């Protein structure tokens, strides 16, 4: 019985000590003695965060069977073939791999180029109106005379925008069929 009563007695004693301490402090203040300053700080409400969908780990996007005309130029975006849109939202990097096949026999070297242009108004306007390429992601494959197929070295690039317009151009004298693969990851 004494063991059961001991916690209750200890709790009552602790309460009595706290009450007496407050009474003593209050009487000191009423006598004009020094009181203890108390500050109350109210912290703001916890910030609410909304997560839409589960984070993606990796994804492969393919832009296949793109027929790209000959004699394209990096200085002439009007000669580029628009291949589609790449959504990169939720990813931190992309590996671009460009490959394909020549149509006909190539006698001089050339290049097949994939250019990803951020899908942002001012960036696209600079490209279309002034031919200025801002913040591009690129992959280039060398076209070699005597070789029917071509491929680029895969390159990992940092993603900086949620969407990119995908363009292809070909500097050689022959039309090509190009395939661009974009492997996205975090």
Beta pairing, strands 81-87 & 163-170: antiparallel
Kindly list the averaged pLDDT for each block of 10 residues, start to end, along the chain of length 186. Answer: 55 51 50 65 64 75 98 94 97 97 96 98 95 97 97 97 98 98 97
Report the alpha-carbon distance of residue 23 to residue 120 in Å, rounded.
68
| Domain positions in the chain | 1-32, 58-185
CATH class of the 58-185 domain in this structure: mainly beta
The confidence score (pLDDT) of residue 173 equals 96
What's the confidence (pLDDT) of residue 90? 92
pLDDT of residue 48: 65
The Cα 175–Cα 186 span in angstroms is 35
Which two tokens mark 32? 């004009």
Rounded Cα distance, 152 and 15, in Å? 78
Euclidean distance between CA atoms 59 and 93, whole angstroms = 11
Residue 38 confidence (pLDDT): 72
* Cβ contact 131:76 at 8 Å: yes
The rounded distance, in Å, linking the Cα atoms of 164 and 168 is 13
User: Quick check: 100 and 177 in contact, CB under 8 A?
Assistant: yes
Q: What is the DSSP code string of 11-79?
A: HHHHHHHHHHHHHHHHHHHHTT----------PPPPPP----SPPP-EEEEEEEEEEE-SS--TT-GGG
pTM score, whole prediction? 0.70
- Give the pLDDT of residue 57: 86
**What pLDDT is recorded for position 17?**
46
């Amino acid at each position: 019985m004494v063991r059961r009563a001991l916690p209750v007695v200890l709790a009552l004693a602790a309460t009595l000590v706290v009450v007496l301490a407050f009474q003593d402090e209050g009487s000191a203040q009423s006598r004009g003695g020094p009181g203890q300053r108390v500050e109350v700080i109210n912290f703001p409400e916890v910030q609410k965060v909304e997560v839409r969908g589960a984070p993606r780990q990796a994804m492969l996007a393919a832009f296949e069977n793109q027929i790209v005309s000959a004699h394209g130029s990096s200085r002439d975006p009007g000669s580029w073939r628009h291949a589609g849109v790449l959504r990169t939202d939720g990813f931190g990097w992309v590996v671009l791999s460009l490959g394909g096949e020549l149509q006909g026999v190539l006698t001089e070297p050339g290049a097949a180029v994939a250019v990803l242009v951020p899908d942002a108004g001012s960036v696209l306007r600079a490209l279309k109106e002034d031919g200025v390429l801002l913040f591009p992601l690129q992959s280039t494959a060398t076209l070699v005379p005597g070789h029917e197929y071509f491929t680029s070295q895969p390159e990992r690039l940092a993603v900086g925008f949620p969407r990119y317009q995908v363009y292809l151009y070909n500097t050689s004298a022959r039309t090509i069929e190009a395939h661009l693969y974009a492997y996205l990851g975090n």
